[in-house]
Amino acid sequence: MDDRGLALLRQLMSDVEGAPFPGSVQQELYAIWYEHAQNVAQETLEYLNTLDPDYGKDSAMPEVFS
């Protein structure tokens, strides 16, 4: 994985790890976090698609994940 992929993966994991519990924060703060996390997830998926354009929802999961 190149530097961009590693940075995207780290950011995505940081966002997921730092997810607020929906009932413990104000709705506006949760919405801001959620939008940011969705943007990073979308960017990560687009990046992964450039690395392996043949992989998609019709592809089978690798055996290791079954």
Per-residue pLDDT of the chain (66 residues; tens, 9 = 90+): 788 888 888 888 888 888 877 666 688 888 888 898 899 999 988 888 888 887 766 676 677 765
CA atoms within 13 A on the CB side of 61: 4
pTM of the complete model = 0.67
Nearest CA to 4 among 37, 36, 51? 51
Structure tokens given for 43: 């960017």
Rounded-to-integer distance, Cα 25 and Cα 5, Å: 31
Amino acid identity of residue 37, one-letter, is: A
